[in-house]
């Protein structure tokens, strides 16, 4: 086994490779079964199909942002344990990307055309949080996941009630995000100041309103 410690340049090149593969290639196969697999497929009107696709595109874009955030934080984390936790969370969230992409294809739609923008912007935010210190970085995860959980709860209220496949995916994503947030808090994440939380909410609103269409 090669136990060579990676240099900052090694890590930067590793992150660049990860970014290119995340944004421009299909996600790796999900490690877990798609929660929509057991849900009955129901007929949707054209309007319902377009609306469900818009919401799932937003969710896919949100997962693209999550990859950027976690990878940026992993790059600048100071403790190996924090870096490993960020990388593990990113791997788990690849399941969400795969599930959303599969559902978008079933709905006859596609991911956001702005995914490179979502990833790059989130990577910079995540790297900045990591540079601020591991407690703030973990607090950033906690706050991010809290906002994502609220966002996914809103989508459950907006998806067609009989779109069981999309709803099953969103429900599992919501449960996973709640767990990630709790893990960040138990690891010592510090509550973020109000201006930071407000800025994060603003970024989220811009993404959700744009990715629904683009």
Domain ranges of the chain: 43-211
Q: Which of 156, 204, 201, 153 is nearest to 177 (CA)?
A: 153
Question: Is the per-residue pLDDT at 103 higher than 90?
Answer: yes
Which pLDDT score is estimated for 53? 96
**Would you state the pLDDT for residue 82?**
77
* pLDDT tens column, 158-203: 999 999 999 999 999 999 999 988 988 888 888 888 888 888 889 8
Could you give the CA distance from residue 14 to residue 37 in angstroms, rounded to a whole number?
Answer: 34
Q: Which of 182, 213, 178 is nearest to 57 (CA)?
A: 213
Q: What pLDDT sits at residue 51?
A: 96
pLDDT, average across residues 35-56: 92
- Protein fold of 43-211: Ferritin (1.20.1260)
Residue with tokens 């403790």: 79
Confidence (pLDDT) at 94:
87
Give the CA radius of gyration of the chain: 17
What pLDDT was estimated at residue 1? 44
Cα 172-72-175 angle, rounded to 5 deg: 10
Q: Per-residue pLDDT for 207 more than 50? A: yes
Least confident of 51-55, 149-153, 180-184: 180-184
Q: Which residue has the higher pLDDT, 70 or 212?
A: 212
Please tell me the least confidently modeled range out of 12-26, 51-65, 95-109, 186-200.
12-26
Task: Write the CB contacts of 30 (distance below 8 Å, at least 6 apart in sequence).
Answer: 94, 95, 98, 99
Residue 2 has pLDDT above 90, yes or no: no
pLDDT of residue 6: 63
DSSP one-letter string for 167-190: HHHHHHHHHHHHHHHHHHHHTTPP
Find tokens 């989130």 and name the residue.
122
d(CA 188, CA 56): 32
- Look at residue 108 and tell me whether its pLDDT is greater than 50: yes
């Amino acid at each position: 086994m090669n136990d060579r410690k990676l240099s900052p340049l090694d890590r930067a090149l590793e992150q660049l490779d990860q970014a290119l593969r995340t944004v421009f290639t299909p996600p790796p196969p999900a490690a877990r079964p798609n929660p929509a697999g057991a849900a009955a497929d129901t007929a949707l009107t054209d309007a319902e199909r377009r609306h469900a696709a818009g919401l799932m595109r937003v969710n896919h874009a949100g997962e693209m942002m999550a990859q950027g955030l976690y990878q940026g934080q992993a790059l600048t984390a100071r403790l190996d344990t924090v870096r490993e936790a960020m990388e593990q969370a990113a791997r788990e969230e690849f399941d969400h990307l795969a599930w959303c992409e599969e559902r978008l294809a079933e709905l006859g739609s596609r991911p956001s055309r702005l995914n490179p923008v979502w990833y790059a912007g989130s990577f910079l935010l995540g790297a900045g949080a990591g540079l601020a210190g591991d407690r703030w970085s973990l607090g950033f995860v906690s706050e991010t996941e809290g906002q994502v959980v609220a966002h996914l709860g809103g989508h459950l209220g907006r998806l067609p009630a009989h779109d069981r496949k999309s709803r099953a995916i969103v429900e599992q994503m919501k449960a996973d995000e709640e767990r990630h947030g709790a893990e960040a808090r138990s690891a010592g994440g510090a509550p973020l100041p109000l201006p930071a939380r407000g800025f994060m909410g603003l970024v989220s609103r811009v993404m959700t309103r744009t990715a629904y269409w683009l």
